[in-house]
Chain A
Amino acid sequence: MTLLCVYLMAAFGLNLIVGYAGQMSIGQAAFYGIGAYIAGILMVKMGISFWLVLPIAAVACFAIGLALGFPALRVQHHYLAFATLGFNVLVFLVMRNEEQLTGGTFGISNIPRPSLFGWSLDGALPFFYFAFASVIILALVLWWLLRSPWGRAFAALRDNPIRAESTGVNITAYTLLAFAIGAACAGIGGVYLAALVNFIEPGQFHLSVSLMMLLAVIVGGSGRFFGPVLGSVVVILLPEWLRFLQDWYLAIFGFAVIVLMVFLPGGLLSLADRFKARGAAK
């Protein structure tokens, strides 16, 4: 459940990019990794406090997210997907090959958990409560942002960029901001992940993780605030619940996702709309 909270931080950010601003990204795990490695390097090698590392990672990911947003100003859809995919691969290679800085394939271990007002968060349960409270705070901040005129501008950009620009929406600024805020959320998630598992290595931030995050957003309902919550539950917990099927559990999980995408392309939360529409038709 703690991993779910941490994962959700990155998924909320991805939902802002994909679901609200209408941009494609399959590089979210790169920011998750950058946040985690900033935490690992600064906390283990330099002894900097978790509380200082958290804003540093968020700001660093925000800045890198701004830079990654630039391709989105020139290309869209699958071209943009490949640009972000390339970024994820690049970050993965840096994590694996820059051994002096990142520990290479050996990773970074002994990442400490923080304490809060003198209370140790070392135990599994205290850290869960801490991660749970943190994801709620992050969700509230995003909720407030999406309810503000910025949220409407993001939606305008997603629905119709041509009209958005002619109604004064600065599509350059809003595209970059969507990537930057989404990246910052993933960076924060990465710091929590590092503290949760105490050990990070490049495999945790592979392209497949980005794809799973995108799957979580789409399965739950892209562009719906609680979509990533439901999607992350499905993507993270469903395979665990299916383990009683032993060798078949991943195959059944894959099949369930295919069925879901075919019959509910709008995600699980679109079910409510379907029932509403049926009720209205009757």
Chain B
Amino acid sequence: MTPFLEVRDMKKQCGAVKAVDGVAMSVGPGEIVGVIGPNGSGKTTLGQIKPTAGSVEFCGEDITGMSPLELSRRGVGRTFQTLQVFVKLSVRDNLIAAAQEFKGTMPGRLFAAPDAGLGHHADEMIELFRLKHVAYLPAGSLSYGQQKLIDIAMAFMPAPRLVLLDEPCAGVNPSLVDQLHDLLVELNKTQGGSFVVIEHNMDFIMKLCPHVVCMVEGKVLAEGPPKEVQSNRQVLEAYLGN
């Protein structure tokens, strides 16, 4: 499979700490890759794509060190470890806001329809994420789980080519974890984008990702199919336990 995202010898130095130390990995088109590892292993730093050395190539273009704005314009969407929604905007407006900047030019948007022509698509996503009953409520007034769904739905609104999901299951109850799994599988099918999922929930990762990378102390300890990684002795010792 031709690499879609190619990380080469990525290093990130944070003061005296080597947060990422020579990581190389690749993601193919439409592929879902899971990144696991103990806290402080460099998973989130890897996802920030701001190394001090090495390079990151996306669809043949060097995207090393690009700002979130530049990345979003190249079709890279993301979610964060903590909830990042627009608290005073309604759920529907959150979804529209997540995609409107990709429609037309900035001056053109001043004269566009209030929903920027995205109302129907936002309603579809609201339906898909089962948020219809709260669609017009401010996002900040909803439960953690509902905000998590909004957060993830926002990342998929502009149909990005690559989505970095940072701990999508953190603080989420088991039934919602199952719902998230089904949603991500469906979005992968319908939108066809590639996902990089950083997560601690092993059941979720093993079920969702055909390819898993385990990081420890800034380095890739093991990678491969989930069962292979799960039974790797070094991974068991350093992260999963016996």
Contact = CB atoms under 8 A, between A and B. Distances in A.
Same assembly: yes
A223 B89 CA distance: 12
Nearest to A172: B69
Contacts of A223: 88
B114 A163 contact: no
Interface string B92-109: 010011111111001001
B101 A169 contact: yes
Interface in A132-184: 145, 147-150, 152-153, 155-156, 158-160, 162-171, 173
A165 B67 contact: yes
Contacts of B77: 166-167
Given A163-B80, A169-B101, A170-B101, A149 B86 contact: no
A261 B25 CA distance: 54
A149 B105 CA distance: 11
A72 B86 CA distance: 20
Interface string A87-119: 000000000000000000000000000000000
B101 A167 contact: yes
B236 to A, nearest CB: 35
Given A147-B114, A152-B97, A168 B72 contact: yes
Interface in B32-70: 67-69
A155 B100 CA distance: 13
A159 B87 contact: yes
A173 B100 CA distance: 15
B101 A148 contact: no
Give the interface SS of chain A, mostly helix, strand, loop or mixed.
helix
Contacts of A163: 80, 84-86, 154
B17 interface: no
Contact of B84 (A152, A162, A169, A170): A162
Contact of B102 (A158, A168, A173): A168
Interface in B70-91: 71-73, 77-78, 80, 84-89
Contacts of B78: 166
Contacts of A152: 89, 93, 96-97, 100, 116
Nearest to B89: A155
B222 to A, nearest CB: 30
A163 B214 CA distance: 27
B100 A149 contact: yes
Contacts of A153: 97, 100-101, 109
A155 to B, nearest CB: 6
A164 B87 CA distance: 12
A167 B80 contact: no
A156 B114 contact: no
Interface size class of A (residues with CB under 8 A): 20 to 34
**Most chain A CB atoms below 10 A, which of B73, B89, B100:** B100
B158 interface: yes
Contacts of A171: 69
Contacts of B73: 168
A186 to B, nearest CB: 21
A212 to B, nearest CB: 26
A208 to B, nearest CB: 30
A150 B114 CA distance: 9
A12 B77 CA distance: 35
B141 to A, nearest CB: 9
A170 B87 CA distance: 19
**Most chain B CB atoms below 10 A, which of A150, A153, A168, A223:** A168
B112 interface: yes
B1 interface: no
B208 to A, nearest CB: 22
B110 interface: yes
A168 B97 CA distance: 9
A166 B72 contact: yes
16 contacts: A147-B114, A149-B103, A150-B110, A152-B116, A153-B97, A153-B100, A155-B88, A156-B89, A158-B88, A160-B84, A162-B68, A163-B154, A166-B80, A167-B97, A167-B157, A169-B69
Interface of A: 145, 147-150, 152-153, 155-156, 158-160, 162-171, 173, 223
User: Sorted from nearest, which 3 A-B pairs have the closest CB atoms?
Assistant: A168-B101, A163-B84, A159-B86
Given A159-B87, A166-B72, 11 more contacts: A148-B109, A149-B100, A150-B109, A152-B89, A153-B109, A160-B84, A167-B98, A167-B158, A168-B69, A168-B72, A170-B69
